[in-house]
Amino acid sequence: MKDALANDAALPSIAPQGYDVTIVVFSDYQCPYCRKLHGDLKQLLAADRKVRVVYRDWPIFGGASLEAARAGMASRYQGKYAAFNDALMSGPVKMDQADIRQAAVRAGVDWPRLKADMARNAAVIDGALRKTNQLAEMIGLTGTPGLVIGDYLIPGAVDAATLRGTVQKARQNARTAETRR
């Protein structure tokens, strides 16, 4: 299960060389708590260069969320996921296609190419979204955000201190498990 959560080539991720902790983030672009968490994650990544983040877009707030998730995942094909993700998370909470397109412009995403990539890779993108939904249900998530940090499941929003503390606990657990082998 842990491998299925964290290791899926269809998902966007930030994986610095030598990372020792993985955070799997279940989020929706229209979730206000996900937006707060996004800012805390950015701060964590800036301060801790050994954290990997796997983004599992889980569009549970309707059609615009689904469209934003598909667009976000397709932006990977232009190497623009991080910038587009930031732009979507900083746009209006309630969004429509015009807001998604504006976020693409702010992120430097080529909109016609994005639309083509969404169509060309629809099976991969939609398959990843379905798998994320299945995994979220299997681990008992009922809403966004949801985090898996090492062996810890966090169903809901946490503050920056709790995020940092859980990363440290996951890191310590991994070291302890490594020394026992």
In this structure, the number of other CB atoms found within 10 A of the CB of residue 2 comes to: 11
The rounded distance, in Å, linking the Cα atoms of 151 and 23 is 10
Q: Which two tokens stand for residue 78?
A: 């232009």
CATH number of the domain at 112, please: 3.40.30.10
| Total domains present in the chain | 1
pLDDT at 44 over 80: yes
Check residue 174 and give its pLDDT. 84
The pLDDT of residue 129: 97
Model pLDDT for residues 2-21, shown as the tens digit of each residue? 888 999 999 999 999 999 99
Q: How far is CA 89 from the centre of its chain?
A: 11
* Domain span including residue 10: 2-180
Average pLDDT of the chain to the nearest whole number = 95
Q: Please tell me whether residue 96 adopts helix, strand or coil conformation.
A: coil
**What pLDDT sits at residue 180?**
74
Higher pLDDT, 177 or 105: 105
Q: For residue range 126-163, list pLDDT tens digits in order.
A: 999 999 999 999 999 999 999 999 999 999 999 999 99
Over the stretch 14-41, which tens digit does the pLDDT of each residue have? 999 999 999 999 999 999 999 999 999 9
pLDDT higher than threshold 90 for residue 181: no
d(CA 72, CA 129): 12
Q: What is the pLDDT of residues 76-114, one digit of tens each?
A: 999 999 999 999 999 999 999 999 999 999 999 999 999
* pTM for the structure as a whole: 0.94
Residues 171 and 150 sit within 8 Å (Cβ to Cβ): yes
The pLDDT of residue 179 is above 90: no
Rounded Cα gap, residues 56 and 139, in angstroms: 14
Does residue 62 register a pLDDT over 90? yes
Alpha helix segments (H runs only) across 108-159 = 111-120, 122-139
Closest CA to 13 of 64, 61, 72, 92: 72
